Structure formats: structure tokens, C-alpha cells
Amino acid sequence: MKIILAKSAGFCFGVKRAIDCVYNMIGFGKIYTYGSLIHNKFVISDLEEKGVFVVDNFDEIEKDSTVIIRSHGVPKSIYTELENKNIKYVDCTCPFVKKIHTIVNKAYTAGDEIIIVGNFEHPEIIGINGWAENSGIIINSPEEALNTYIDKNKKYTLVVQTTYQRDIFEDISKVFSEFANVKINNTICSATDDRQKEAVIIAKNVDKMIVIGDEKSSNTRKLFEISKKYCKNTFLCETIYNLQLNILQKSDKIGVTAGASTPPAIIKEAITKMSENENFEEMLDQSLITLHTGDVVKGTVIGVNNGEVSVNLGYKSDGIIPKNEFSENPDIDPADVVKPDDEIEVYVVRVNDGEGNVLVSRKRLEANKGYEEIEEAFNNKTVIKGKIIDIVKGGLIALINNKRVFVPSSQISNRFVEDLNEFKNKEFDFNILEFDKSKRRIIAGRKELVQKEIAAKRQQIFESINAGDRIEGTVSRIVDFGAFVDIGGVDGLIHISEMSWGRVKKVSDVLSEGDKVTVTVLDVNSEKGKISLSLKDINNDPWKSAPEKYTIGNIVEGKVVRMVPFGAFVELEEGVDGLIHVSQISYKHIAKPDDVLEIGQVVKAKVTDFDAENKKISLSIKEADVKPKEEEKTEETTEA
């Protein structure tokens, strides 16, 4: 085995400078880094063990501590905040990044628009944009560049992330080179450029290429993408122990490079393990697993061809998933679900399919898992999600974990449901009521869940509404004495007397089932579970203006609406009635009101008393000096 190590592999100047700075400061007070110092969990873990912690908020740090600004750099505002809070800091921003800050700040101050090429989520880009008061146009592909509007009346300054891929930047630069008012600055770090160029040269001349580094590292991912272009068998791993060693052969020529955040010790360990033939063979043997029918193992997808999926199992032979063993759904195309380098679990059907391959199944694993999760929900009385897919005799069929489960019609709701089709193609939570795996008999229901949901909703409503609130609702039921209104899962009652300021003879004259209404809450009684509502709008209460209209002594006009033995009630306006006592109806003695008056008759009367508190008005026809028509007719007859 021949190993070619890139000369530029590992820490770049800026990262090494920041790392060395932090390690040299350990033991001299409390140290924090603003954001992760490096995209490498081994280094971060080691620093934490030595008392160096990552912070994103300066309110979290202890007094008299020192903050390290990482090589990625930070926005201008961070320096201001540190100084305002009198926090000591050491600036370890990479000089190449610092140069970009200077370019951007100078151009922005001069009135230029700023274009930044890179990943908008990367801390370096966030820091650069902060020197233009976060106004920069951030572009990460030639397509985005083509869709960027350039105003010919403005000047632009363009910079690029130090670790950006050179060939893609060149494509973006070509787009903007057409505009004379765009000044292009190639700020890709020379070390990054050298590292990428070297990766291309090595990848073209090896059987396999290994990129060592954290996949979260931008420059590591770019090295992997570049190497993959020229060497199909390119692998990304954090350490040599993350690499499936059975992919390597003793006869291979192997290229190795590493990202700017990869410590030298990790690179050295990888080279040593691969170079020591005896140790390597021992590690290779240890890496080869043994397989048995029925095993559940993890593997990495190698490729998908005509619906058949090849999987690296870490075994001497690859695993093959035929299309009919991929999913219970025959319409699923494996290529739409998995892609090369995806890690998946599979069930071993046969260790040798007759052609030297391992026959594995994803479908059978999912089937077993589906039953296991349903059984777990049954045993633990927990809720599990499913979708109603069919209506059958006596109930419905729900698909739960890709298993057909029977739901009796009596268990789909807490009420009788006439048309079960209203539930079809909808997802719900279910309880598993019966589970017999051997007979493949599973029964589910949601009646109890619905009751709990309604109880919880009722409690929430009773806790959230108060007398005087105006709320929306839907009329759910009409009765003789009023109407019930659904106000979000709980019914409240509008009594017939609360439907109008005027008189209502029948509820159906005002409301119908299904009507949307706005009501006022009169009373909430959570103990009795009752809510009293009113359809009246308190702002239109006619009694508010009644004292002015019906002052004692005023002559008013109204319609007789009701008669009782002691007098007649006159509607002065909708919601305001007055009483004419029988003694105040006529100058002559009458036994009862209807001797002189009739329902619907319009009369004029004088206001003799007004009781605002009890909403009572006393009227007199006699004092209004207006005689009823019946008396006038009687007098005319007598005179004749």
C-alpha cells in the first residue's frame, strides 16, 4: 500500500495561531471562546477538560475572564459590546479574514454596496457582513449570482469566503465581471487555494482518497467535494477509526488530505495505522463483521441501480436489497428514498444469495419495527399516530407504522357517526386496544382520546373566558327556551330573553342551526359546567339613552304589546317597555285594560315615573290629555 499525504494537510496558519494562543493562556485565569474555536469535537472536548468553554452570550461569562475571538472573525458590533462591558479579549482573527473586514468596512463607508460570496450560515460570513452593518448581498452559487440585480447607478465591492472553492468562485466572478461598477476581490486564502489544488493533483493519481476532518467544517467538505470529482472512491472521516477499513486493499495507492481544522495528531495517527502493515491487517480483520440470517445491521449505501440497492455492510461481500424487499409500498422508488453514502439499517435474509452477495431487506426490518412500536404502545398505554385509509364493514382501516389496523366505528369518536367517510385520508392519534402479533390482529380506537381532548378543551375554555368577553361561536342546537352555541368545543346557552333587546316570540325567528354569531359572556360556572351567553350588544343597550328620551313629564308614543289585569305594557322602542296602570288608561272606570285597548294599538302617554336602576317606566294616557278612540266614540254617541 502506497500512501501519499498532502503537504498542506491539517491546521492552516490562522487556525494554528488561534489554537496555540488558547493553549498558551490555559492556567492564567478563566478563558472563554466566542463561538466554537474550531470545527473539531476532539479539540473542543480537550479544551473543555482544561477549563476553556464556548459562549455565545457575554452575559454568561464570569467576572475578570478573557474572551478569545476565533480565527473566523466577528462583526464590528462584537468589539463594541466587549469594550462597553469592559471585558478583556484576545483577537485571534485570521489575518486573511481581517483583511476582508478592512476591505468591506472601507468600501461600505465610501458608499459601496457589498457582495459576499460564501455560505450565509458560516461564522466567517456572519463576521464579514457585520462590517457592512449586515447589509451585504450574500451569494453561494453561480445561479444565485445570475439572479442578483445589479444597479448600474451604484458601486459594488465583492469579497469571498477565505475557504471558498476556487472553481465555483471563478464561475461567479465571470457573472459579475460584465459589470464595470463591481470591484472583484479574490480573498480566498492562499493556503486554502494551495490545499485545494494539491487535493486535485493527488486525487487524479490514486485509487482511493481519504479526507480527514469534521463534516461540519466548510473547508473539509469542500476538499471532499473537490477530491470526489477526480477520484470516485473518496471517503470523509473524522479519524482513522471512523473509516470502514475493508474498503482499502494492500495494493491500493491512497491519497490523504485533511481540513484546516484537523489536528496534526489525528493525521499522524491515520498515516501510522495505515503504514504499519501488520497493525493495518489486524485492524482490517477486526473491521470485518460476521453475519447470520436474522441479524439487523447498519450499512452504507453504495448505489441504486434499477431499483436494487447495494449496501456496504462491513462484510467481505456487499449486501443487496431487491426492489421487492425495499418497502411494503410497491410504488416507492428506492432512488427517491436513499442515495450513496446514506447510512441505513437492514435485515439479513440470507448470508449468500447464490452469487456471493448478502441478501438483505429493509421492508422486513420496517415490518418488525412497526409491530414492535405498536406492541410497545399497547403495553405502555401510549398514543401512536395513524392514518385512516379505508372504510370497511363495522369500522375503518388505519395505517399505523405501515400496518393495517382495524378501528371499530364505535371507537372512532365519542359520538355516533353516520358517515365514516369524513375520517378518510386523515391522520389521528390512536390507542391500541388489542394486540395479537401471532394472529396479526390489532384493534385501535380514539374514543377515549377524544373524550380526554374534549375535557381538556372544556377546562381550557372555562379557564380562559370571563363574564363580559365578546367571542365567536356557532349555533349547534335550537330549543324552545333558547339556543346552544359551540364556542370551541363547549356549548353555551343564549336564553330567548337574551336574543334581542326587543321581544322574541320564537327562537327560530332569530337564529338557525349553523349560524355564526358573536356573543357576550354573561356568566361562567365551571362547577356546573354552564356558560350563559347573550346575543345582545351591550354597546347598543337602549336603556343607556332612555333617561334622556323618557324624562318625567315627556309625552311619548308606543305600541301596546301585552295586557295584564292591572294594566298594559307599551313598547316605546325595541327593548324599552313602559307600564300604563289600569287606573291611568281611561277617565271612566274600566274593569280591565282590554275594555279600552287592544294589542298592537299605538297610544300616546305621559311619563309619570322613571326607575333607571330597575328599568321601569310608568305611563299615563289620562295625564297626556289624550282620550282613547273608544271614549271619543262613546261621547259622540251620547251627544247625538
The residues spanned by each domain of the chain are 11-91, 97-188, 192-287, 296-356, 367-451, 465-538, 542-639
Q: Which amino acid, residue 290? A: T
Check residue 194 and give its pLDDT: 82
Confidence of residue 289 (pLDDT cuts 50, 70, 90): low
Q: Kindly report which listed range (158-172, 189-203, 558-572) carries the lowest average pLDDT score.
A: 189-203
pLDDT tens digits, 611-625: 888 889 999 998 886
Check residue 637 and give its pLDDT: 46
Q: Kindly report which listed range (4-8, 67-71, 270-274) carries the lowest average pLDDT score.
A: 270-274
pLDDT tens digits, 14-34: 888 888 888 888 888 899 999
Is 465-538 a CATH 2.40.50.140 domain? yes
Range picked from 94-108, 320-334, 375-389 for highest mean pLDDT: 94-108
Would you say 240 and 141 are in contact if contact means Cβ atoms under 8 Å apart?
no
Confidence of residue 247 (pLDDT cuts 50, 70, 90): low
Check residue 640 and give its pLDDT: 44
Would you say 371 and 408 are in contact if contact means Cβ atoms under 8 Å apart?
no
Q: Kindly report which listed range (72-81, 262-271, 469-478) carries the lowest average pLDDT score.
A: 262-271
Confidence of residue 129 (pLDDT cuts 50, 70, 90): very high
H, E, C per residue of 518-567: EEEEEEEECCCCEEEEECCCHHHCHHHCHHHHCCCCCEEEEEEEEEECCE
3-state secondary structure of 336: helix
Stretch (H or E) spanning 176: helix 166-176
Is residue 211's pLDDT more than 60? yes
- If you average pLDDT over residues 486-503, what whole number do you get? 84
Residue 483: strand pairing partners: 478, 494
pLDDT tens digits, 463-486: 888 888 888 999 988 998 999 998
Confidence of residue 43 (pLDDT cuts 50, 70, 90): confident
pLDDT tens digits, 182-201: 999 999 887 788 888 899 99
Q: Quote the longest CA-to-CA distance of the chain.
A: 144
Class of domain 192-287: alpha beta
- If you average pLDDT over residues 384-408, what whole number do you get? 89
More confident position, 419 or 354: 419
More confident position, 627 or 498: 498
Estimate the crossing angle of helix 123-130 against helix 95-109, to 10 degrees. Answer: 30
More confident position, 250 or 394: 394
- If you average pLDDT over residues 129-155, what whole number do you get? 93
Give domain 296-356's CATH number out of 2.60.120.330, 3.40.50.10490, 3.40.50.150, 2.40.50.140: 2.40.50.140
- If you average pLDDT over residues 546-571, what whole number do you get? 90
Is residue 348's pLDDT more than 50? yes
- If you average pLDDT over residues 389-398, what whole number do you get? 90
Catalytic (active site) residue 124: yes
Is residue 276's pLDDT more than 70? no
- Placement of cell 389521528 in the chain: 428
Check residue 246 and give its pLDDT: 57
The answer to whether the pTM exceeds 0.85 is no
Is residue 74's pLDDT more than 90? yes
Which member of 48, 81, 124, 238 is catalytic? 124
Is residue 178's pLDDT more than 50? yes
CATH topology identical between 367-451 and 465-538: yes
Give domain 11-91's CATH number out of 3.30.70.2190, 3.40.50.11270, 3.40.50.2000, 3.90.1170.50: 3.40.50.11270
Is residue 218's pLDDT more than 90? no
Is residue 342's pLDDT more than 60? yes
- If you average pLDDT over residues 276-296, what whole number do you get? 61
- Domain covering 367-451, topology: OB fold (Dihydrolipoamide Acetyltransferase, E2P) (2.40.50)
Confidence of residue 638 (pLDDT cuts 50, 70, 90): very low
The C-alpha atoms of residue 19 and residue 23 are separated, in whole angstroms, by 6
Tell me what the pLDDT averaged over the chain comes to. 85
The C-alpha atoms of residue 619 and residue 612 are separated, in whole angstroms, by 14
More confident position, 242 or 58: 58
- If you average pLDDT over residues 362-373, what whole number do you get? 79
Q: What percent of the chain has pLDDT over 70?
A: 93
The C-alpha atoms of residue 163 and residue 177 are separated, in whole angstroms, by 21
Burial of residue 415 (CB within 10 Å: 0-12, 13-18, 19+) is: exposed
Give domain 97-188's CATH number out of 3.50.50.60, 3.30.565.10, 3.40.1010.20, 3.40.50.300: 3.40.1010.20
- Domain covering 542-639, topology: OB fold (Dihydrolipoamide Acetyltransferase, E2P) (2.40.50)
Check residue 402 and give its pLDDT: 76
Estimate the crossing angle of helix 166-176 against helix 190-203, to 10 degrees. Answer: 120
Check residue 626 and give its pLDDT: 54
User: 239-244 contacts: CB < 8 A, separation 24 or more?
Assistant: 239/42, 239/212, 239/266, 239/269, 239/270, 240/212, 240/266, 240/269, 240/270, 240/273, 240/274, 243/210, 244/287, 244/300, 244/312, 244/314
